[in-house]
Structure 1
Amino acid sequence: MSIMNALSVSRRPAAAFVVIGLFWGCFAAHVPVLKAQMGASDALFGTLLLGSATGLVSAMWLAPRADHWLGARSMQFGVVALSLAWLIPGNMTVPILFALSMALVGLCSGLLDVVMNARVSELEADHRRPLMNANHAMFSVAYAVSAVIVSFTREAGVAPVYVFAGFSIFCILLAPFLRMRVAHVAAEEGYQGGYPIWPIALCGAITLIAFMSEATVEAWSALHVERTLGGGAAEGALGPAMLGLTMAIGRFSGQAVSERFSEIPVVIVAAIISASGALIAAVAPTPIAAYFGFGILGLGVSVIGPIGLALVGKMVAPHLRTEAISRVAVIGFSGFFFAPMLMGLASEAFGLRVAFAGVALVLISAVPFAVLVSRLNAADRKVALQN
């Protein structure tokens, strides 16, 4: 199936991925400004981002219920709520208020994230073909475009609150097009399977590693370029833009790869490639060398998270799919909030070069989890044949 056909089939959730990508790209490129706006140290700023984690954990419990209540309007509600939530952080100068505003952002982002990934998984089941990478690629495209736009607005001296407001208006205008029927699946008669703890835990770990690594580059690449390597504001904003661009390329390529190869070998190869990119960024002597490292990291890490989400959708019973994806999504996307805090603490103690080297170690740890998922799949197939 072609990439364009995959996006046509999943155009409504793909638009939701664009919304989230626009806002997080805008935020990543504004990190140096927001940090300076509050006068926060690396460690404090990373800790403040834990506010987002609080909201995201809440989303894990609320998303399946909200999806049931809102039905076809779930993505519409999520887009409007997230667009309004992002109006607040860009105007914050008091650290505690910034943390609270990011908690609201985390809640809204988590709700939309779970719902849109569940819709993609339902479409994958209906059409019996992979769609996850193409949709996540749209997040990356939007993320890169947003970061490039911010590189110009920062050079022009536009305050973050006005930039966020512009993106909010655009995204709210998309909401009417995101109404989508929900596939409510009842348990099969005689179903005796237990709750899929191991598929959720293992796929969640793979997704967490991918998104933690992605989050460190999103939140700290601009600072690495500007502070460690002496780049300007526009050069700093191009760090996350490079990540978003190469992740888009990687995910569009991953759409084709996922139709031809088994998921587990793809995860293992991607982890090795992305880890090498993190090491290049860590030792880079110039901004251009850092961009090269961020690009390799983006190409590799781009397919790991979507595959983790797609895998759990295939490994659990259909009536548990939305709930399982919500758990894996929240485990994975918590990396977007815990990673910046850990990165901030590592940067404060050892510097950003050492912190980025640590990202390489995190990425390599995806390999043993992928092997465990492969063994679990093999065991499940053996049981199915015996029955």
Structure 2
Amino acid sequence: MRMSILSALRLTRAPGSAFVVMGLYWGVFAAHVPVFRDRLGVDDAVFGSLLLGSSLGLLTTMWLAPRFDQKLGRAALPVAAALLALAWIAPALAATPLAFAIGMVGVGMASGVCDVVRASATWDARVSQIEAQSGRSLMNANHGLFSLAYGCAALASGLTREAGLPILVVFGGMTVVTLVLMPLLWRAPSPEMMPEEGASVTLPLWPVALCGIVVMIAFLSEATVESWSALHIERTLGGGAAQGALGPALLGITMTLGRFGGQALAERLSETAVIRVAALVSAFGAAIAAMAPVPMVAYLGFAITGLGISVIGPMGLALAGRMVAPHQRSQAIARVAVIAFCAFLIAPVLMGGLSEVFGLRLAFGAVAALLLMILPPVLALRRRARALAAVPA
């Protein structure tokens, strides 16, 4: 298993390093959510609406990012990482809700530049192309790097919060790490996969849409737990700063284990089988976190949630690539990611509204119910996968 993971990461060094950079900054942010909310003096519903700024910024750059990639070529990822580091300065300094919202729009735009949704620039499409060329399943290993960086950053942020370090200093530390990773972010442009003569250029609509729904639910659930777990532990269960930061840290750590373990499973079991089990496990974990009487029980719930939810998104993306012809793979991944990114529009408003009206317990209970909604589309995709497997090569 260890050799499988290491060889997968060697094949995708540049996109894997980019996942690390993204995970570092979002891990720091997740651990500081209670600090941001208290500093701004807003309720949950308003804070959820402010978080929507990053989603709006992300969506506005989806169509600009491919041009960015084409202009800069091999330098696209290093420059995008530098922009992300600069973008986090604004929300780190923001003292008013408006300034924070504007800062989060900038963060979303920088993230969008990094995580573009066109085959010419998206990391997931690059990984999918390398999967096709190498015959290996690589998506889980790369997403596992994001979770590892996220969990370590959240855990370290809990310690810095206890020590009283300002948020800006912590983000500055992440900038130093980003600079260290810069040499690994350089990569050669990926060649476009050309359609075979006479091949269909039209994507099959419903398999791509179903994969998009699966990944969207996974991203929505992951985003809500990442952003609100610390607040749940500190406010609902009375935990301290380090205890609150341990919530998203545990989520990141168990997601790392789940994704690296999923890397080995993906080479032995079908994506649909793993996704079905993962949906049940993550829903069970979210329900435990919702009903937890003390932080220790909530930690167990978040750990189980992270273990289950970790593989759903990466395997949903990989499954989309297998549902179509080889020359359609990048386009399919891009369309699925467009659908999935709707989660980042829904999650802040949904979680903030539910928390404000019903409390965080019911909000996390809603996450558990949402995860169970993955099962019907996965069963339909399983039938499609079996039909494709029955067709002679």
TM-score band (shorter)?
over 0.9
What is the letter of the counterpart of residue 210 of structure 2? L
- Sequence identity of aligned pairs in percent? 54
Q: CA deviation at 1:347?
A: 0.6
Structure 2: distance between partners of 1:197 and 1:82: 34
Moved over 6 A (4+): none
Matched, 1:253 2:255: no
Q: Report the secondary structure of 2:62's partner residue.
A: helix
User: For 2:74, which of 65, 72, 75 is the aligned residue?
Assistant: 72
Q: Report the secondary structure of 2:95's partner residue.
A: coil
Q: CA deviation at 1:237?
A: 0.5
Equivalence for 2:291? 283
Q: CA deviation at 1:380?
A: 5.0
The range that moved more, 105-114 or 59-68, is 59-68
- Say if 1:208 and 1:54 are closer, same or farther in 2 by CA, change over 3 A: same
The range that moved more, 363-372 or 269-278, is 363-372
- Say if 1:217 and 1:282 are closer, same or farther in 2 by CA, change over 3 A: same
Report Cα offsets for 1:78-101 as digits up to 9, x if no partner: 212212212221111221221222
Matched, 1:187 2:189: no
Equivalence for 1:140? 147
Equivalence for 1:154? 161
Structure 1: distance between partners of 2:75 and 2:207: 29
Structure 1: distance between partners of 2:75 and 2:299: 40
Q: Report the secondary structure of 1:348's partner residue.
A: helix
Structure 2: distance between partners of 1:4 and 1:147: 24
Q: CA deviation at 1:174?
A: 1.8
Equivalence for 1:357? 365
Equivalence for 1:339? 347
Q: CA deviation at 1:319?
A: 4.0
Matched, 1:273 2:256: no
Q: Is the 8 A contact 1:88 1:161 kept in 2?
A: no
Equivalence for 1:24? 26
Q: Is the 8 A contact 2:20 2:145 kept in 1?
A: yes
Q: Is the 8 A contact 2:13 2:184 kept in 1?
A: no
Residue correspondences, number: 385
Equivalence for 2:324? 316
Q: Is the 8 A contact 1:154 1:234 kept in 2?
A: yes
Report Cα offsets for 1:173-214 as digits up to 9, x if no partner: 322321212122223222234134333321111111111111
What is the letter of the counterpart of residue 113 of structure 1? D
Q: CA deviation at 1:69?
A: 3.6
User: For 1:52, which of 38, 50, 54 is the aligned residue?
Assistant: 54
What is the letter of the counterpart of residue 231 of structure 2? L
- Say if 1:213 and 1:231 are closer, same or farther in 2 by CA, change over 3 A: same
Q: Is the 8 A contact 2:283 2:367 kept in 1?
A: yes
Matched, 1:167 2:169: no
What is the letter of the counterpart of residue 240 of structure 1? P
Equivalence for 1:228? 236
- Say if 1:197 and 1:58 are closer, same or farther in 2 by CA, change over 3 A: farther
Q: Report the secondary structure of 1:190's partner residue.
A: coil
Report Cα offsets for 1:60-111 as digits up to 9, x if no partner: 3233443344333332232122122122211112212212221221122133
Report Cα offsets for 1:207-258 as digits up to 9, x if no partner: 1111111111111111110011010011000000010011001111101111
Equivalence for 1:209? 217
> 5+ unaligned residues in a row in structure 2: which ranges?
117-121
Structure 2: distance between partners of 1:153 and 1:291: 20
- Say if 1:100 and 1:196 are closer, same or farther in 2 by CA, change over 3 A: farther
The range that moved more, 348-357 or 321-330, is 321-330
Structure 1: distance between partners of 2:295 and 2:337: 33
Q: Is the 8 A contact 2:139 2:318 kept in 1?
A: yes
Equivalence for 1:3? 5
Matched, 1:367 2:369: no
- Say if 1:374 and 1:52 are closer, same or farther in 2 by CA, change over 3 A: same
Structure 1: distance between partners of 2:69 and 2:208: 19
Structure 1: distance between partners of 2:204 and 2:112: 21
User: For 2:107, which of 99, 105, 109 is the aligned residue?
Assistant: 105
What is the letter of the counterpart of residue 22 of structure 1? L
Structure 1: distance between partners of 2:321 and 2:69: 17
Q: Is the 8 A contact 2:258 2:310 kept in 1?
A: yes
- Say if 1:321 and 1:55 are closer, same or farther in 2 by CA, change over 3 A: farther
Q: Is the 8 A contact 1:48 1:98 kept in 2?
A: yes
Equivalence for 2:83? 81
Q: Report the secondary structure of 1:61's partner residue.
A: coil
TM-score, normalising length: structure 1: 0.94
The range that moved more, 181-190 or 235-244, is 181-190
Q: CA deviation at 1:381?
A: 5.6
What is the letter of the counterpart of residue 169 of structure 1? V
- Say if 1:375 and 1:111 are closer, same or farther in 2 by CA, change over 3 A: farther
Q: CA deviation at 1:368?
A: 0.8
- Say if 1:331 and 1:59 are closer, same or farther in 2 by CA, change over 3 A: farther
Structure 1: distance between partners of 2:345 and 2:33: 13
Structure 1: distance between partners of 2:70 and 2:338: 17
Structure 2: distance between partners of 1:358 and 1:24: 23
Structure 1: distance between partners of 2:56 and 2:334: 16
Structure 2: distance between partners of 1:245 and 1:97: 32
- Say if 1:149 and 1:177 are closer, same or farther in 2 by CA, change over 3 A: same
Equivalence for 1:295? 303
RMSD: 1.9
